[in-house]
Amino acid sequence: MDLKTFIFSLPIEEREAFAKRCGTSRWHLQNAAYGKPINAKLAVAIERESKRQVTRQEMFPDSFKSIWPELKPVATA
């Protein structure tokens, strides 16, 4: 699932809690959902806190191999 779909599927209160667990703000996550770049540390937190509903491969489709060479591509539907 892409970040935008995931973030906007959450009620606002849960977005706040999710952002806090990721170490950022709801506004920063919403900006990221619309394409604002995020750093690798935040991407790892998003993947972890979303229970892999949003993956690093999906957030960094063109560069995840150079950042995380151990990751395999995610099959897309």
Per-residue pLDDT tens over the stretch 14-66: 999 999 999 999 999 999 999 999 998 999 999 999 999 998 888 877 766 66
pLDDT given for residue 3 in this prediction:
95
Residues 6+ apart with CB under 8 A from 26: 12, 15, 16, 18, 19
Helix (DSSP H) and strand (DSSP E) numbers for the chain? 6, 0
pLDDT given for residue 69 in this prediction:
65
Q: How many domains does the chain have?
A: 1
74 belongs to a structural domain:
no
Distance CA 50, CA 53 (A): 5
46 belongs to a structural domain:
yes
Residue 18 near residue 42 (C-beta atoms within 8 A): no
The domain containing residue 27 runs over which residues?
A: 3-67
Verdict on whether the full-model pTM lies above 0.85: no
Distance CA 1, CA 5 (A): 7
Residue with the bigger pLDDT between 71 and 56: it is 56
75 belongs to a structural domain:
no
73 belongs to a structural domain:
no
